[in-house]
């Protein structure tokens, strides 16, 4: 479903060239739950930005659903973000002036859905995350975990092909983190592909598949069959 081939991303300043990603290769299958780990500065965020079409890359190819989406112009990239990708951020990034329903509605607005369709989807998405009764609340009136659930509802409302989650539980206490994680797993079970960036090995272990990025390259990947993998643990330690 998602394939990256030999992606390179170079940041240039007057003095130095930094390779954030070098010959980065990755393929994600439909319905997978992929955890991306790696030490800070390894290129996790760059990967996320490129996968989410928030940034371009220097060279390489990026296929989504078999279509090459390298070097799209801004409008096309925005449309793909809107239709195919759902974002979940560590800081939730809800718009503080909008109530929950309006926050969830934002991507639907840009998609150009009718008012009726928007209403239906907002309701469905918020009910899915268990906040159907709080549509008129403002984000500031909610706990962190609830806010993150709203953000998930916002990501789901557009029925994306995959979710990109960036440290989704990083700002939450452990109880809330577990609830959010369970929600993500349920969503994955329902068929949505999820790519999650995290530095928490505990969380990563819960994914079907782990990918580690070190120095801008995919260092190793292992298919999990629900169990644990020691090899990844050692790699983790080696890297840190």
Partner 1 sequence: MFLYYVDLAWRSIKKTPILSLLMVLAISVGIGITITTLNVYNMMAFNPAGERAEQLNTVQLWSQGPDSWADYHSQVTYQDVMNLRKGKVANEQAAMFRSGMAVQTDDPQILPSLNGVRVTDSGFFNLFEVPFIYGNSWDKSVDEQAAFQAVIGKKLNQKLFGGENSVGKTIYLNRKPYQVVGVIDDWHPQPKYYDPTSGAFSKAEQIYIPFSLTASEEFSVWGNMSGWKYERLDDYQDRLGSEKVWIQYWVDLPTAEDRQSYKRYLSQYVEQQKELGRFTDGKSPEESAQLSNVDAWLERNHVVPEDNKILLGLSVLFLSVCLVNILGLMLTKFLKRAPEVGVRRAIGASRSQIFSQYMVEVGVIGLFGGLLGLAWAWGALYGLSARFGVAEGLTHLSLSMWVITPAIAVGTAMLAGLYPAWVVCRTKPSVYLKSQ
What is the DSSP track for 183-200?
A: HHHHHHHTT-EEEEE-S-
Least Å distance, CB 77 to partner 1, is 8
Which residues, 6 or more positions from 176, have their beta carbon under 8 angstroms from its beta carbon?
143, 144, 145, 148, 169
Q: Is 158 in the site for partner 1 (CB under 8 A)?
A: yes
Compare residues 94 and 135 and give the one whose CB is closer to partner 1. 94
221: helix, coil or strand? Answer: strand
Least Å distance, CB 199 to partner 1, is 13
Name which position in 5, 19, 111, 178 contacts partner 1 (CB under 8 A): 111
Compare residues 97 and 173 and give the one whose CB is closer to partner 1. 97
Which residues, 6 or more positions from 84, have their beta carbon under 8 angstroms from its beta carbon?
64, 65, 160, 161, 162
213 vs 116: CA distance, rounded Å: 43
Name which position in 69, 106, 214, 219 contacts partner 1 (CB under 8 A): 106
237 vs 240: CA distance, rounded Å: 5
Residues 86 and 156: beta-carbon distance below 8 Å? yes
Q: Is 58 in the site for partner 1 (CB under 8 A)?
A: no
Name which position in 30, 97, 159, 233 contacts partner 1 (CB under 8 A): 97
56 vs 34: CA distance, rounded Å: 22
Q: Is 49 in the site for partner 1 (CB under 8 A)?
A: yes
Q: Is 79 in the site for partner 1 (CB under 8 A)?
A: yes
Q: Is 119 in the site for partner 1 (CB under 8 A)?
A: no
Q: Is 168 in the site for partner 1 (CB under 8 A)?
A: no
Q: Is 128 in the site for partner 1 (CB under 8 A)?
A: no
Q: Is 185 in the site for partner 1 (CB under 8 A)?
A: no
Q: What is the DSSP letter of 140?
A: G
What is the DSSP track for 58-77?
A: SEEEEEETTEE-TT--HHHH
209 vs 222: CA distance, rounded Å: 6
Interface segment toward partner 1; rule CB under 8 A; list 125-133, 154-162, 181-189, 215-223? 154-162
Q: Is 116 in the site for partner 1 (CB under 8 A)?
A: no
Query: Which residues of the shown chain bind partner 1 in the complex (CB under 8 A)?
Result: 45, 49, 52, 54-55, 74-75, 78-79, 81-83, 86-87, 89-91, 93-95, 97-98, 106-107, 109-112, 154-155, 158, 166, 170-171
């Amino acid at each position: 479903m998602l394939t990256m081939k030999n992606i390179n991303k170079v940041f240039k300043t007057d003095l130095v060239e930094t390779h954030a990603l070098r010959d980065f290769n990755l393929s994600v299958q439909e319905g997978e739950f992929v955890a991306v780990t790696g030490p800070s500065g390894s290129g996790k965020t760059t990967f996320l930005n490129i996968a989410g079409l928030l940034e371009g890359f220097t060279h390489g190819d990026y296929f989504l659903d078999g279509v090459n989406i390298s070097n799209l112009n801004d409008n096309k990239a925005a449309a793909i973000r809107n239709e195919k990708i759902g974002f979940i951020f560590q800081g939730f990034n809800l718009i503080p002036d909008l109530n929950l329903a309006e926050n969830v509605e934002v991507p639907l607005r840009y998609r150009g859905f009718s008012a009726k369709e928007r209403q239906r989807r907002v309701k469905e998405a918020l009910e899915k995350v268990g906040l159907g009764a709080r549509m008129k609340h403002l984000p500031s009136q909610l706990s962190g975990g609830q806010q993150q659930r709203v953000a998930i509802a916002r990501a789901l409302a557009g029925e994306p092909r995959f979710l990109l989650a960036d440290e989704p539980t990083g700002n939450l206490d452990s109880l809330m983190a577990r609830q959010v994680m369970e929600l993500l797993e349920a969503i994955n079970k329902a068929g949505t592909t999820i790519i999650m960036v995290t530095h928490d090995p505990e969380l990563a272990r819960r994914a079907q598949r782990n990918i580690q990025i070190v120095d801008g390259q995919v260092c190793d990947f292992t298919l999990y069959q629900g169990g644990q993998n020691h090899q990844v643990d050692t790699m983790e330690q080696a890297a840190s």
